Amino acid sequence: MGQGVIASVTPGHVYVHAPFCARRCSYCDFAVTVDARPPVEAWLTALSRELDGVMRARGWPRLQLDTIYVGGGTPSLFGAGAIGGLAAVLGQKADWDSGAVEWTAEANPERFEQDLADDWLAAGVNRLSMGAQTFDPDILVWMGRLHGVDGPAKAFAAARSAGFENISIDLIFGLPERFARDWAADLERALELNPDHVSLYGLTAEAATPLGRWVAEGREHMPREERYEEEYLLAAERLTGAGYVHYEVSNFARPGRESRHNGAYWTDAAWIGLGPGAHSSVPPERWWNVRDWAEYRARLHEGTSPVEDRENVGGESRILEEAWLGLRTRSGVTPANRAQCDLLDVWVLRGLAEHTGTGATRLTANGWLVLDTLAVTYAEASHHQVAGTGRC
C-alpha cells in the first residue's frame, strides 16, 4: 500500500470502527454514515484489506491480541453474523486467547435483542458498552436517539439472559438548562440496571454537528459551567457511594471491571485502528484514516492506503501528553523533581489531589474537573532541574 517495511513494536490491542448509523444524533461528531442497512460484506472486505496492508507495511508476522474493541457508529445495527465475520477477518492476521481477551462491542438499546446477544457471545464478544445516554423521553427525542425510556432495561435483560457478565452503560451530562432534566434520577435508573461499568460524557457542541449549528445560531444554549461541575460531582458521589471505583476521569467500574482496552490508550500502549476515521499508535508514531466511508472503501479497493495523515509525538508535546495521561487515571503520577512534588502538595491542600501512600499522587473528582489546566502546569514543572528527595 505504498509504504516500506517499518520495524516497530507489535501492538496487542485493536480498535475496529463500524461507521454506520440509522440516524445521526444531534451531538455526534464521529465518522458516521447514515445507512439503516449497512453493507456488511463491503465493510469486512475493506477491513481485511486494511489489516493486510498494515501488517505488510509494518513487517508484523502476526498479532497477539489482549483486547478488541468494536465501536461506532452502531455495531449492533449490523445484525447477526457481522461480528463472526469480523472474527474471521482478524483471525487471518491475529491470535487471541478466548478465555483471556477483553472483546468489547458497542450497542444501542433499540438494536440489541436476544438473538443478537446470543450471536455476539458465540462470536467471542464478552463485554458490552450500552449507549443509554439518558432516561428522559423528551431528551431522547432531542438527541435523536431511537430507543425509548425502557430500551436500556430490555437490552440489559437480553444481554444477561445470553450470559454477558460485563456490561458498561454510557450517560451524558451537562445538557442545556432549558431541559428540566433530573440528573439524579438518570443516575438512579442506571444503577437499577446494575451495570458493571459506567462511562460519563459531558455534552460538547462540536462545530460540525447539528448541536454545534444550533448553538452558533443562538437556537440552543449550553449549560453554565457551575451546572456542569455540579452534575459531574454528583455522579462521582452517587457512583462511588454505590461501590464503583472512580478509576479514570470519566469512568467508574466495579472492582476488576475496569476497561482494559481504554487502559491501553491511557498508558500509551501500542494499538492499531481499522476503519474510517480510526487512529493507530505505535509510540512515538501515530496515524489516522480518512473519515469518509466511501473514500476509505475506494482507496482500499484501489490498493492504496486509507491513512489520511501521521505524526511523531515528541518534545514538549510528549511531555504534556505524559502529564495528561498520568493525571487522568487513578494510578496518578510520581513526581520527578522538587517543583513537581511541591506542586502536588499544593493540589492536595486545595482538595484537587490526594497522596496514595505509595509515592504517587492522583487527582480527586474536583481535580479532574480542571484536568487540562493541571496537566499543563505539571508538565511545565518537569523542566525544573532540582531532583526531589524522600517522597519525591
Q: How many whole angstroms separate alpha carbon 317 and alpha carbon 322?
A: 9
Q: What is the pLDDT of residue 148?
A: 86
Report cis status (omega within 30 of 0) of the bond before 284. Answer: yes
The set of cell numbers assigned to 130 is 450500552
Q: How many whole angstroms separate alpha carbon 30 and alpha carbon 275?
A: 12
pLDDT in tens, 257-292: 999 999 999 999 999 999 999 999 999 999 999 999
Q: What is the pLDDT of residue 386?
A: 55
- Whether pLDDT at 3 is above 50: no
Residues 27, 151: one domain?
yes
Task: Give the pLDDT mean for 347-374.
Answer: 96
Q: Is residue 285 part of a domain?
A: no
- Choose one of 204, 238, 266: the last residue of a domain: 266
Q: Is residue 297 part of a domain?
A: no
CATH of the domain at 258: 3.20.20.70
Give 64's pLDDT tier (boundaries 50, 70, 90). Answer: very high
Residues 141, 23: one domain?
yes
Phi and psi torsions of 89, nearest 5°: -65, -50
- Choose one of 204, 232, 266: the last residue of a domain: 266
Q: Residue 133's domain spans which residues?
A: 13-266
* Burial class, 149, CB count within 10 angstroms (exposed 0-12 / middle 13-18 / buried 19+): middle
Q: What is the pLDDT of residue 390?
A: 43
Q: Is residue 308 part of a domain?
A: no
- How many structural domains is the chain composed of? 2
Residues 258, 320: one domain?
no
Measured in whole angstroms, how far is the alpha carbon of residue 352 from the centre of its chain? 24
- Choose one of 266, 285, 301: the last residue of a domain: 266
Residues 217, 100: one domain?
yes
Residues 215, 124: one domain?
yes
CA angle, 50 then 51 then 55, to 5°:
120
Q: Is residue 358 part of a domain?
A: yes
Q: What is the pLDDT of residue 364?
A: 98
pLDDT in tens, 301-337: 999 999 999 999 989 999 999 999 999 999 999 999 9
Residues 252, 325: one domain?
no
Residues 245, 332: one domain?
no
* Burial class, 294, CB count within 10 angstroms (exposed 0-12 / middle 13-18 / buried 19+): exposed
Q: What is the pLDDT of residue 53?
A: 97
Residues 324, 226: one domain?
no
Q: What is the pLDDT of residue 305?
A: 97
Task: Give the pLDDT mean for 192-205.
Answer: 96
Residues 243, 109: one domain?
yes
The DSSP line for 28-46 is --SS-EE-SS--HHHHHHH
Q: Is residue 169 part of a domain?
A: yes
Q: Is residue 389 part of a domain?
A: no
**Average pLDDT of the chain to the nearest whole number:** 93
pLDDT in tens, 144-176: 888 889 999 999 999 999 999 999 999 999 999
Measured in whole angstroms, how far is the alpha carbon of residue 97 from the centre of its chain? 23
- Within 124-202, residue ranges assigned H as helices are 137-143, 151-162, 183-192
- Whether pLDDT at 61 is above 80: yes
- Whether pLDDT at 381 is above 60: yes
Measured in whole angstroms, how far is the alpha carbon of residue 265 from the centre of its chain? 9
Task: Give the pLDDT mean for 138-143.
Answer: 91
Q: Is residue 194 part of a domain?
A: yes
Q: Which of 86, 76, 81, 77 is nearest to 106 (CA)?
A: 76
Residues 232, 321: one domain?
no
Q: What is the pLDDT of residue 391?
A: 54
pLDDT in tens, 10-22: 999 999 999 999 8
Residues 216, 338: one domain?
no
Residues 241, 327: one domain?
no
Query: In the chain, pLDDT over 90 holds for what percent of residues?
Result: 86
Give 5's pLDDT tier (boundaries 50, 70, 90). Answer: very low
- Whether pLDDT at 1 is above 60: no
Q: Is residue 254 part of a domain?
A: yes
Give 7's pLDDT tier (boundaries 50, 70, 90). Answer: very low
- Whether pLDDT at 361 is above 70: yes
